[in-house]
Amino acid sequence: MPIIVVEVMPKAEILDPQGKAVAGALVRLDKSEFSAVRIGKRFELTVEGPITDELLAEAREIANDLLANTVIEDVIYVGEARPADDAQGA
Amino acid sequence: MRVGVITFPGSLDDRDAQRAVKLGGGEPVALWHGDHDLKNVDAIVLPGGFSYGDYLRAGAIAAHSPIMSEVITAANAGMPVLGICNGFQILVEAHLLPGGLVRNDHGDFVCRDQKLRVENVNTAWSNDFKEGEEIIIPLKNGEGGYIADQDTLDRLEGEGQVVFRYLEVNPNGSANDIAGISNARGNVVGLMPHPEHATEAGFGPDTRAAMRSGTDGLTFFTSAISSLMANA
């Protein structure tokens, strides 16, 4: 089944305590070359047929109305799975 | 006066809120998230808890519950609506109150008896307080950091929509020490602390007088009755 991917990130100016905790763990693991971490969300919306413009428009609508709270988060991607996504598990 | 308390899947303090309504002189009415029926109530409380396990974002899924369409219509028509903790999170997700609530800045769940200052006594839920009154209300949350963009904060401060402010300790990193806000009309109020847990001597926060003797929360509920009486 084809999937539409929606990615949401906390707004840059908003503190991300989860990311901060992970960044602290990286320092303890001696990986301090990664100076900051921010954690967002990825939604995979399965659709029955081919991905059409109408479905993408619908996905954008629910991304902004439900999946993200645009007061505190930004929707950064709505679309088909990208080539890099296919490398999962490789 | 009939005060409805909505139970969502994962609400925890709905029964406490019903009891607080009763102690405040109102008639508590249990409401169900899946209904489209407000049962002719005069005011509504959205209680604390972890609706839908805080999945997606705290309050986000509950804000789209069937009963919320009736709540939004009633709130916009002027009915007193109080959101406590998770109820506050539901009100911001439903866009009845501005801003958002994010994870506490220190990353930990916090539970304490919190001192607050009453900043606005002209709302449906604060009119029995005295301006500037200092009260103690239990607070317990993991995602209670109030945030909004600078324009919204300036507007809230300028219009007196900051109703309660944290004193001495900012327990969760909230902007401007904001503990609770109202809409422009003053009928919808949301706050992170739990007034329903400070309504009966023996079960409230500690005060200088005696352990667990604090009942400052009762004034929220008597205020709602007072405002309904005044408008009756």
pLDDT value at residue A90: 43
Take residue B71 and report the two structure tokens written for it. 């709540």
How confident is the model at residue A16, as a pLDDT?
A: 86
- Token representation of residue A14: 């908003």
Yes or no: is domain A3-89 CATH 1.10.3720.10?
no
Best CA proximity match to B69, nearest among B42, B41, B33: B33
Enumerate chain A positions whose Cβ falls within 8 A of a Cβ in B: 10, 14-15, 17-18, 20-21, 66-67, 69, 71-72
Residue B113: its H or E element:
strand B110-118
Separation of alpha carbons B209 and B204, rounded Å: 12
Q: For the segment A39-52, what is each residue's pLDDT rounded down to a tens digit?
A: 999 999 999 989 99
Instruction: Quote the tokens at residue B89.
Output: 């999170």
Closest-CA distance, A49 to chain B, in angstroms, reads 26
Q: Which domains does chain B have, with CATH numbers?
A: 2-230 (3.40.50.880)
- The number of residues in chain B equals 232
Could you read off the pLDDT of B139-176 as tens digits, one per residue? 999 999 999 999 999 999 999 999 999 999 999 999 99
Instruction: Check whether A26 has a pLDDT greater than 90.
Output: yes
For residues B86 and B44, is the Cβ–Cβ distance under 8 A? Answer: no
As a whole number of angstroms, the distance between CA B130 and CA B143 comes to 29
The model's confidence at residue A85, banded by pLDDT at 50, 70 and 90, is low
Contact pairs from chain A to chain B, CB under 8 Å: 34
Q: B157 an active-site residue? A: no
* Nearest chain A Cα distance for residue B194, angstroms: 24
Question: How far, in Å, are A34, A64, A72, B55, B147 from residue A67 at the CA level?
Answer: 28, 6, 12, 11, 19
Q: How far apart are the first and last CA of chain B?
A: 10
Closest by Cα among B69, B20, B17 to B46: B17
What count of other Cβ atoms lies within 10 Å of the Cβ of residue B33?
A: 20
Token digits of residue B141: 């949350």
| pLDDT tens per residue across span B32-47 | 999 999 999 999 999 9
**φ and ψ at residue B146, rounded to 5 degrees:** -80, 130
Nearest-by-Cβ selection for B147 from A14, A18, A67:
A14
Q: Would you tell me which residues 130-159 of chain B have a C-beta closer than 8 angstroms to some C-beta of chain A?
A: 145, 147-149
Q: Band the pLDDT of A68: cuts 50, 70, 90.
A: very high
| Average pLDDT over chain B, rounded to an integer | 96
- Determine the residue of chain A that is closest to B149 in CA distance: A71
d(CA B219, CA B186): 16
Q: What is the pLDDT of residue B107?
A: 83
State yes or no: is B194 an active-site residue.
yes
Q: Is B190 on the interface with A (CB under 8 A)?
A: no
Q: Starting at the edge strand that comes first in sequence, how are the strands of the sheet with B162-166 ordered?
A: B27-32, B2-7, B43-46, B81-84, B188-191, B178-182, B162-166, B110-118, B134-141
Max CA-CA distance within chain B? 45
Contacts for B155 with CB less than 8 Å, ≥ 6 apart: B98, B161
As beta bridge partners, residue A73 has A10
Query: Which residues are registered as beta bridge partners of A6?
Result: A43, A78
**Tens-digit pLDDT string for chain B (232 aa):** 999 999 999 999 999 999 999 999 999 999 999 999 999 999 999 999 999 999 999 999 999 999 999 999 999 999 999 999 999 999 999 999 999 999 998 889 999 999 999 999 999 999 999 999 999 999 999 999 999 999 999 999 999 999 999 999 999 999 999 999 999 999 999 999 999 999 999 999 998 889 999 999 999 999 999 999 998 7
- Complex ipTM more than 0.90, yes or no: no
Supply φ then ψ for residue B87, to 5 degrees. -65, -40
- What is the C-alpha to C-alpha distance for residues B99 and A71, in angstroms, rounded to an integer? 6
Reply yes or no on whether the pLDDT at A84 is more than 90.
no
B162 neighbors B156 (Cβ within 8 angstroms): yes
Instruction: Average the pLDDT over A26-32 and give the result.
Output: 94
User: Whose structure tokens read 């009942």?
Assistant: B215
